[in-house]
Structure 1
């Protein structure tokens, strides 16, 4: 059968599959494009094979939509074909769209450059070579971190080499099936308006992907390897953000099979730590994340610490640290008391952020380097405990931000980097200093290690340190609920649920009446008792916050920008008076409230999705 006949037969099969309910209409449209348009010609054979094999479900999953740019760039499951998958075409479109936009934006600039780095995931190096070849073909010089390196090192490299843009090939903490590209602007931050829309427009209209073979680009000097240079200068810049004090702490570190060892260990050593142990079962770089529970290297997951804690108890560790595969986020665990052989506990992202905010501000206060012009930065879904800590030091907190560290980076440049003290978000991302514009797991590991050594010297556990903050500012307890909704049906369910929260929100949660709805998508704040609305000042994005009648208790809802799920952030608080009087009682009260809140929001979601 000739190729034209194969295509025609495949087109007829697509129509039949749609009629039979085996393929969604949007998938059919995208499959048809990949089957008939010249720009997808190299994938035509694979598409035909899928159709002839009646692989309708894989086709629907791979084609039902066009994979978008979210808070972390373009991310998804790898599959050889598909508009909704990570493959050579979608990665190529991303790099080509970036290159085309930057070329036009820079208006004929001759010495364009781009920094590129990659993590330990499957095909990360392959996608790196593809992206490098595309940037070179567009006239860019590429500065390559040619080994497994951290996302903050890429952000730093963009700034250090004065690049026009940057590309990080990583899917962060996603499952082994996934990969992605994060796109960076010349500031070292992930792209923001208006550049994000401009790049997306170029990506979505990309016809031809022009590639210089990687080996040729290297031979011609258009790809320059700068790994050693950036390793040294990054460590110099990050260690300068540390504080003087004891370094007598035994640190157990896990890279969770990712890139972190190359960034974290040299930094801790430069900062003066000598008793550093890398957890061997997690040390091997691997995109399969073989020794991590569920093969998902997410430091938010308490289970990743189970085995390291057992080992830490044996060796008498003072602190256990873990970074995600691209080392921009951290998790940690510490002994409940000063006895390392006894019980341990982990800290969530809000708790780590509060602990580090207190540590950094207290050290700055001791050095008399804080003024009322200084500020910290957080997002709307990050605990208000950090704001209260900042206010106790007479430091501003800029916190009216959407999710995504790029918004924190934007504030740093808008408000002035010289006055910036610390940035934190609930998803375990933190930054200090001016050397980069993305969250940095390595520098956060350094700061946590410094604090662990200081507390050890004082005879105070990390958990007691946090409890003291709760007694002073009120006990804050948060919970993250993920509602996974995959595929085309999942997207429709996500839209229905967000619409329901906006238009017919629950009247009460955990027995507490709702007071108001803050709808950042429509810039509207609605008082539920009167039904009146007024303009909501702040950022515009798909985020809803439901405030309960009791102060400090609220639920934020948004669709994830990187995964097929709705994220619900539940916030509770007991007053400082209650918490200082009996912290255990305040904890028990809020734990009970969280159980009720989770039950109520899950039931609401089940009914309305």
Structure 2
């Protein structure tokens, strides 16, 4: 070890002693400085140490970036174990390749696609080169394409695995890889942990393969046109008969959505579709979107699109996130297109689509008791109540992440699957994929909107009719950012406090029990414990009076804690919908105030 490296390591230890760098960051920095596999990056690490860029170093090295609910995702930075860069993306691909070679028999192949983010194409080619170097054939979508099309590609080409380069709706600073198994679903336990084990032990990245040479030799097969056509045909296969008289504006939010949503709508007979111009350009900076975050969960994303809809006399508005697996929508409240418009949250869209799909299935050929829908634990119970009304089973005891919905489809048997949804604007109908698909959801939402129009009803009035039938449900999501190593420590403290010393009440409603999914236990308000038959995960649910509850979990893909709030008024208690809506709005506001205060006390 050179004297210069000794000096740098001494500086790092001094920074640890001065509490400018965490001990875990120091350990990872040492690895990148001294181990041969990181030699390419050692000079960059050294430069930051010499400049005493301690915060940047700590953020980039304090942990090894993990696989979360959506794969390996984070902020791009040229170096660091906790950043997205050539090394961490390469390690992910090599770890996956090693695991596939160990566990899968026969000819091996991998599907790869990418979105419009910065460096996405570069990272996709890097993953392809590593796969080919490991003897794994690559099927490559050679243009910006959607995540659900990658899921379809893996199934269509019978691939051993798949890689989607995208950070979904995260800020422009981020990128990621979503890793898929042969099912077309994102990797589930135990595969995810086994892949991480391989990732942690990657030595050199096998980068001797040239991408263009691999294409020329057939080791990388460009199959974009073929897969596009087959994918859209499968999406179209989920259509229902009905009116198609609808004028709409669609925004891809600078992402890949125009490659999937527009062909799907055209195939389904929708002809009066305008792509919103300011969001049409594929651009990883997301320049014309509020806060430069292309997330259809954010109502402000729709403000400018709604203004254009009013100018154009449009009746419906859709927007999809950058990798086109999530969709949001807005519609006029009354028949007056120039009047008030409102967006729908993810739970409301899920309820609308669930009722639409089940009603059409029932009318078309009936539904059976072994038909089923799937939702996650943090998705509205209104979906279950709708399914119950059609005599359809619900699988809802699932942790957050659409991969668990895909996994349940395969576990139960996909032939009886009717609909899957999660509150974060993810939906699936059909068996062609094992991930949420904004193309099929957009198509069916337009069918529903056209149906409502033909019946002289607005989409918001349709939502109200479902509330009258199944009870008023109001949900709200509160995100509390906790960035860096300090934020992670505070997240752990907060989750421990919810388990050990939860609030006695929220919004004036008494706490009845705590469901602790990490420790698989139910703890009553009196402290009595009983077993919890639930999927393992770092989440607690606070059950309150009157069917209200709050779920708390750290995000698996971003540095924040998520609070999911659920309120409910039984249909028998609904004398006036407006009164119930106002009361639940006040209740949610109280929940939010008290949860923020509880968090601030950490």
TM-score, normalising length: structure 2: 0.99
Deviation at 1:10, TM superposition (A): 1.2
Note the aligned Cα RMSD (angstroms): 0.9
C-alpha distance in structure 2 between counterparts of 1:574 and 1:553, whole Å: 9
Counterpart in the other structure of 2:596: 602
Aligned to 1:546: 542
Aligned to 1:569: 564
Does structure 1 residue 12 correspond to structure 2 residue 10?
yes
Question: Which residue of structure 2 aligns with residue 118 of structure 1?
Answer: 114
Q: 1:28 aligns with which of 14, 26, 29?
A: 26
Q: How does 1:293-442 map to 2 (within 5 A)?
A: 293-442=290-439
Residues 254-279 of structure 1 show CA distances to partners (whole Å, capped at 9, x for unaligned) of 00000000100011000000000000
Instruction: Specify which of 193, 199, 210 is matched with residue 189 of structure 2.
Output: 193
Cα displacement (A) at 1:523: 0.7
Task: Provide the aligned length of Structure 1 versus Structure 2.
Answer: 601
Deviation of 1:225 after TM superposition, in Å, equals: 0.5
Counterpart mapping for 1:147-162 below 5 A: 147-162=143-158
Is 1:81–1:87's contact at 8 Å kept on the other side of the alignment? yes
Q: How does 1:469-484 map to 2 (within 5 A)?
A: 469-484=466-481
What is the Cα deviation at residue 502 of structure 1?
A: 0.2
Provide the rounded CA distance (Å) in 1 between the counterparts of 2:183 and 2:251.
Answer: 30
Match of 2:175 in 1: 179
TM-score after normalising by structure 1: 0.98
Deviation at 1:209, TM superposition (A): 1.4
Does 1:454 pair with 2:451?
Answer: yes
Q: How does 1:483-522 map to 2 (within 5 A)?
A: 483-522=480-519
Does the 8 Å contact 1:73/1:182 carry over to 2?
A: yes
Deviation at 1:384, TM superposition (A): 0.3
Counterpart selection for 2:573 from 552, 570, 578: 578
- Answer yes or no: is 1:536 the counterpart of 2:549: no
Residue of 78, 81, 87 corresponding to 2:79:
81
Q: How far off its partner does 1:121 sit?
A: 0.2
Pair 1:466 & 2:460 matched? no
1:95 match: 93
Give the 3-state SS of the residue equivalent to 1:70 in structure 2: coil
- 1:212-236 CA-partner distances (Å, limit 9, x unpaired): 2212211221101111011100000
Q: Match for residue 527 of structure 1?
A: 524
Residue-by-residue CA offset, 1:87-112 (whole Å, 9 max, x unaligned): 011000000000000000015x3x21
Are 2:554 and 1:559 equivalent residues in the alignment? yes
> 1:143·1:225 contact (CA, 8 Å) conserved in 2?
yes
Q: Distance in 2 between matches of 1:118 and 1:393?
A: 39
Contact in 2 for aligned 1:6/1:48 (Cα 8 Å): no
Q: Are positions 1:130 and 2:126 aligned together?
A: yes
Q: Which one of 177, 183, 203 corresponds to residue 207 of structure 1?
A: 203
Report whether the alignment pairs 1:262 with 2:269: no
Structure 1 segments, 4+ long, off by >4 Å, are none
Partner Cα distance (1:4, 1:220) in 2: 44
